């Protein structure tokens, strides 16, 4: 009998009946986009759920990064990580900003605060860290460095929906934080994203920038872009928000089973929960030490695929190795030894609501072999 295909992630689908109620109301209102009723309602609901003061919705998770850089008027050089999805660095490139890569911490895979100061130059204007796999960065130390040198901090928090440190949302750190609501995320609006800010005036500026710069019917105050979320996806997001806790709970269960089963396998390591952190279990990365495990990461990856288990080498390759960026002086392997090693070892295992214990057992069995 053919084995069922198991992929890295799959969204928790909302109730079609409940979604239809929203859709019918949207049609009756005859307002499909441009800061509509459900757009406003979802912004308010997310502020309450996430514990943040202001949030602005976007049509995807990349445009908030681009817009944050515009809103803060970032120029010159920005210190960032090579161990992320390409959107992080692409947002800098689209703003004419030079990325400066800094190595990562071997435990969290986040930007290593110990390496940041050495990368600061007279042209540095900001730091753009990433909460990798939803593991929170050392926001206190990063802010201390930023304050010391007069730098802005924009967090790519695409993986960090609902993550808290000692009861406080990690999204409140820095000058701004961005979120992705892509279909593969813990919480999704099919496609979507958001920008978290701290004050009403900045929120107003962001709302102008995401709607062509319009401040009124005939007034344009800035060269904005069209990146606002429509009513259909906002409605989808409202329905999904009602069940996101259930999705996180299911992922937590899977993470616990993975950890228990894999803890004694030589050459396989993974991230543990951090005390004081409310995790969202976005991903479950394992790291394969070829010498101890007896098989390379890529060999295990291909073997899993042969058994219809589709993990993801996430993040591989490093952003710094892509043609657009590999000519930068900060992009060398010698400058990024930890990131290079982690990129060569990582596989994110399937992790989603609906992943059964039987599925998890089959995944574990393949790794244990």
Domain boundary among 241, 275, 300: 241
Q: Is residue 252 part of a domain?
A: yes
- 123 and 272 both lie in a single domain: no
- 63 and 188 both lie in a single domain: yes
Q: Is residue 8 part of a domain?
A: no
Structural domain total, the chain: 2
Q: Is residue 195 part of a domain?
A: yes
- 126 and 175 both lie in a single domain: yes
- 250 and 345 both lie in a single domain: yes
63: domain CATH number is 3.40.640.10
Residue-level pLDDT at 12: 66
Q: Is residue 5 part of a domain?
A: no
Query: How far is it, in rounded angstroms, from Cα 269 to Cα 259?
Result: 9
What are the structure tokens assigned to 109, written together? 């895979």
- 346 and 255 both lie in a single domain: yes
- Per-residue pLDDT tens listing for the chain (369 residues): 467 777 777 666 677 788 888 889 889 999 989 999 999 999 999 999 999 999 999 999 999 999 999 999 999 999 999 999 999 999 999 999 999 999 999 999 999 999 999 999 999 999 999 999 999 999 999 999 999 999 999 999 999 999 999 999 999 999 999 999 999 999 999 999 999 999 999 999 999 999 999 998 899 999 999 999 999 999 999 999 999 999 999 999 999 999 999 999 999 999 999 999 999 999 999 999 999 999 999 999 999 999 999 999 999 999 999 999 999 999 999 999 999 999 999 999 999 988 999 999 999 999 998
Q: Is residue 11 part of a domain?
A: no
HSE of 230, CA atoms in CB hemisphere, 13 A: 10
- 108 and 143 both lie in a single domain: yes
Q: Quick: pLDDT tens for 51-80.
A: 999 999 999 999 999 999 999 999 999 999
Q: How far apart are the first and last CA of the chain?
A: 21
Q: Is residue 2 part of a domain?
A: no
Domain boundary among 241, 270, 287: 241
- 67 and 196 both lie in a single domain: yes
Query: How far is it, in rounded angstroms, from Cα 88 to Cα 271?
Result: 22
Q: Quick: pLDDT tens for 141-174.
A: 999 999 999 999 999 999 999 999 999 999 999 9
- What residue numbers bound the domain in which 26 lies? 16-241
Distance of CA 154 to the CA centre of its chain: 13
Q: Is residue 146 part of a domain?
A: yes
Domain boundary among 200, 222, 241: 241
315: domain CATH number is 3.90.1150.10
Q: Is residue 6 part of a domain?
A: no
Residue-level pLDDT at 2: 61
């Amino acid at each position: 009998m053919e084995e069922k295909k198991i992929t890295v992630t799959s969204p928790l689908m909302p109730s079609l009946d409940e979604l239809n109620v929203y859709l019918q109301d949207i049609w009756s209102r005859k307002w499909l986009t441009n800061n509509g009723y459900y757009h406003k309602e979802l912004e308010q609901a997310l502020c309450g759920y996430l514990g943040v003061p202001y949030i602005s919705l976007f049509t995807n998770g990349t445009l908030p990064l681009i817009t944050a850089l515009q809103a803060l008027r970032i120029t010159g050089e920005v210190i960032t990580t090579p161990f992320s999805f390409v959107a992080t660095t692409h947002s800098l490139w689209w703003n004419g900003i030079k990325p400066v890569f800094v190595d990562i911490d071997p435990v969290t895979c986040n930007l290593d605060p110990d390496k940041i100061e050495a990368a600061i130059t007279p042209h540095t204007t900001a730091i753009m860290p990433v909460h990798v796999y939803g593991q929170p960065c050392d926001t206190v130390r990063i802010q201390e460095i930023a304050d010391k040198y007069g730098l802005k901090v924009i967090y790519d928090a695409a993986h960090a929906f609902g993550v808290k440190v000692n009861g406080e949302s990690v999204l409140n750190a820095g000058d701004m934080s961005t979120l992705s609501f892509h279909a593969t995320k813990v919480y999704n609006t099919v496609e979507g994203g958001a920008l978290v800010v701290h004050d009403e005036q900045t929120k107003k500026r962001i709302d102008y920038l995401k709607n062509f710069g319009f401040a009124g019917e005939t007034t344009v105050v800035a060269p904005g872009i069209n990146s606002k979320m429509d009513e259909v996806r906002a409605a989808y997001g409202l329905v999904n928000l009602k069940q996101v806790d259930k999705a996180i709970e299911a992922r937590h269960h899977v993470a616990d089973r993975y950890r228990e089963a894999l803890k004694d396998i030589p050459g396989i390591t993974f991230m543990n929960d951090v005390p004081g952190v409310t995790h969202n279990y976005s991903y479950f990365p394992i790291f394969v030490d070829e010498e101890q495990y007896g098989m390379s990461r890529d060999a295990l990856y291909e073997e899993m695929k042969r058994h219809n288990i589709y993990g993801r080498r996430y993040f591989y390759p490093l952003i710094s190795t892509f043609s657009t960026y590999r000519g930068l002086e900060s992009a060398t392997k010698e400058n990024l030894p930890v990131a290079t090693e982690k990129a060569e070892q990582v596989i994110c295992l399937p992790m989603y609501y609906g992943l059964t214990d039987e599925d998890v057992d089959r995944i574990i069995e393949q790794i244990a072999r």
